[in-house]
A and B are shown apart, each in its own frame.
Chain A
């Protein structure tokens, strides 16, 4: 158990809809990262927050947004969903920033029909 909690574990929705994925980091960790994993793309970095502030941004679509709250949990919002957004979305956390030693949750599997 990594200590990172993600909800929901599975989500099925329709094109055009909006969903919110939630992540609680390991106790004491200040950084939260979001990654997307699909069969053809591997693990793609989306965005990182550190202590409530956006720290780094990867290939995150404009239809996607994220935030980290004062209690350090994070949410990833995906809107105007398309079939190609179907993937596993992972949250990871670390104590600081600038490290590669991340602790990953078990992921949220999103299926867009």
Chain B
């Protein structure tokens, strides 16, 4: 059974205070690791795809990296609008499995 574990569960940051979110996974036949952002009451919104160890993707203040067993989402100099729940997901043989998410709150 594919497993995705995200930590921490919640993260409270001051505006401008950089931090990292962790996603560790076990999957048979990884066919991609994906990051999503979910705002309260909304559906998840796709952010990044990573396929192989060492790969990095960036978008504005977010950077995602991948190793053989985990992925990190780095938030650099966050702003209040970066407050959301960030979900990690892995694609195995037949389905996309999500972690429980990290809820990030950025205070001005």
A19 to B60 alpha-carbon distance, docked (Å) = 41
- With a cutoff of 8 Å between Cβ atoms, the chain A residues found around residue B7 in the complex are none
Give the contact-size bracket for chain A: 20 to 34
Say yes or no: B89 contacts A100, CB within 8 Å: yes
A103 to B100 alpha-carbon distance, docked (Å) = 18
* B97 on the A face (CB < 8 A): yes
A98 to B49 alpha-carbon distance, docked (Å) = 13
Number of B residues whose C-beta is below 8 Å from A? 23
Say yes or no: A101 contacts B34, CB within 8 Å: yes
Binds A, one of B14-22, B37-45, B64-72: B37-45
Say yes or no: B97 contacts A92, CB within 8 Å: no
Residues on B lying within 8 angstroms of A by beta carbon are 31-34, 41-46, 49, 87, 89-91, 94-101
Using CB atoms, name the residue of chain A closest to B33: A100
* A42 on the B face (CB < 8 A): yes
Say yes or no: A101 contacts B31, CB within 8 Å: no
Binds B, one of A67-75, A79-87, A104-112: A104-112
A38 to B32 alpha-carbon distance, docked (Å) = 25
Say yes or no: A2 contacts B45, CB within 8 Å: yes
* A43 on the B face (CB < 8 A): yes
Question: Contacts A42-B101, A98-B31 known; A104 to B45 CB distance under 8 Å?
Answer: yes
A104 to B100 alpha-carbon distance, docked (Å) = 17
- With a cutoff of 8 Å between Cβ atoms, the chain B residues found around residue A107 in the complex are 41-43
Q: Which of B32, B33, B44, B91 contacts A43 (CB 8 A)?
A: B44
